[in-house]
Amino acid sequence: MRILIKNCSIITMIEPDDVYSVGQIEIEGDRIAYAGTVRDTDVKFDKVIDGSGMVALPGLINSHTHSSMSLMRGYGDDTALMKWLKERIWPVEEGLTGEDVYWGAMLSIAEMLRSGTTAFADMYFFMEEVARAVSETGIRADLSIGMVSVSGDWKERIQNCKSFFSEWNGEAEGRINVSLGPHAPYTCVPDFLALVSDLAGELGAKIHIHLAETLDEVRQIKENYGKTPIEYARDAGLFEHRVLGAHCVHLTDDDMRIMKEYGVNAVHNPQSNMKLASGIAPVQKMLDLGINVALGTDSSCSNNNLDMISEMKSAALLQKVGLMDAEALPAVKAIKMATVNGAKALGIDDSVGMLKAGMKADLVLVDMKKPHLYPQHDLISNTVYAAGGADVAYTLVDGKVLLDDGELTGIDEERLYFEVDKSLKRLFNR
């Protein structure tokens, strides 16, 4: 299919200042054929989108979330992390079925597509159901089974991951990648992490893990092992592989040196960290050191949404107030975290993250014809500081229009809400 997006502004993310005030994007199949100034072409297009008054940017990448936890959005708010997990979240999760996880993932995918997210990294369980939702909806995802070692059969967990990798890695026309998901240092003992590292080497898989999220985690790992969480993960062999380190809030200078040395990808989750009072990650310092820092929302019950545009704004503002420096983390770096850096963290930067010829046609159009988005002195600043997910009009993945002028093309929202309500009635006795 050939698609023309005409008369739109374009934020390419190739270079910080590579912005077209008026341009066009031509798509052939799943790839961008052209992105630049307006030009004449003899190509016959199957679909023409008038992008007048809109800005096109690379699809946003949510590099850390737990999509099916959307079923618990708003449940147990205003509670500290460990109390929230032990008293609210984990008891509900014990009752989850694969069908619940499927519809929770579908709910999150609908939200992500509506707000401009075209790819996400997910860690949870019943992940074959999340993979099914990804396959059916057309979004791109990096999926990992969340694992702990505090109980149960380690060999069974490892075998489940191998089976999931074998069944789903590279599926859905290449839109699904599978990683390994040891939950966190405080839920995974060293010997178990060593098994995970061995499996990552065997499969060539990435590792997705929570790291240094809270002071309690740092204290616990220090008391039990005499190390920081970063040192603990390194010594278990995890950093021999590509790692998505979610949160990375409480880091020493040595921790950051280790992360730089091993190429660990940090994933900043500013709104979740603020809500759970986890702290302010040293994002600006990590970026200055050359550490790749991507952006995520965490789950929609610790956020409470999956709006990556608002997450960009939060990331920028949090660094400014945390460092008392108005020049910290400017808008262009925030948007880079949600696009280029996210693609690098997920290992897909050869095909997504920028708008240029040859890249996958993963992109969004934000409708700027709204009072809160006028005037437009700076398109990047306007997008980061003034826009929100509700301003997204079009979302494309692999050249397929998944959100068309505000309407989802592949998700029956009426049935979605019906099925989610069924799960909620059973899980919460409503």
- Give the pLDDT score at 59: 98
Q: Which domain holds residue 27?
A: 2-59+351-408
418 is a domain residue: no
430 is a domain residue: no
Q: Using an 8 Å Cβ cutoff, are 327 and 1 in contact?
A: no
Structure tokens at 259: 């992360």
Neighbours of 350 (CB within 10 A): 11
Helix (H) or strand (E) holding 3: strand 2-11
38 is a domain residue: yes
- Give the pLDDT score at 430: 61
Structure tokens at 242: 């590509």
**Domain CATH code at residue 276:** 3.20.20.140
At 205, the amino acid letter reads A
What is the tally of structural domains in the chain? Answer: 2
**Domain CATH code at residue 40:** 2.30.40.10
Is 359 found in the same domain as 324?
A: no
Is 166 found in the same domain as 75?
A: yes
Is 82 found in the same domain as 186?
A: yes
Is 385 found in the same domain as 283?
A: no
Cα-Cα-Cα-Cα dihedral sign, residues 106, 109, 113, 114: positive
Task: Note if the pTM is more than 0.95.
Answer: yes
- Give the pLDDT score at 151: 76
Is 263 found in the same domain as 218?
A: yes
- Give the pLDDT score at 83: 87
Nearest to 263 by CA among 222, 207, 196: 207
The strand order across the sheet containing 60-65 reads 60-65, 117-124, 140-147, 176-182, 207-211, 243-247, 265-268, 293-295
Question: What's the angle, vertex CA 108, arms to CA 92 and CA 182, rounded to 5?
Answer: 60
Is 284 found in the same domain as 176?
A: yes
Domain boundary among 345, 378, 394: 345
Is 289 found in the same domain as 378?
A: no
Is 71 found in the same domain as 38?
A: no
Question: Which residues are CB-neighbours of 178 under 8 A, at least 6 positions away?
Answer: 142, 143, 144, 164, 165, 168, 169, 205
What span, in angstroms and rounded, lies between the C-alpha atoms of 285 and 23?
Answer: 35
- Give the pLDDT score at 81: 79
- Strands (DSSP E) contained in 156-271 are 176-182, 207-211, 243-247, 265-268
Q: Using an 8 Å Cβ cutoff, are 142 and 208 in contact?
A: yes
Domain boundary among 325, 345, 365: 345
Is 378 found in the same domain as 235?
A: no
Identify the segments of the chain with pLDDT beneath 50.
Answer: none
Digit-coded pLDDT (tens) for 92-119: 999 999 999 999 999 999 999 999 999 9
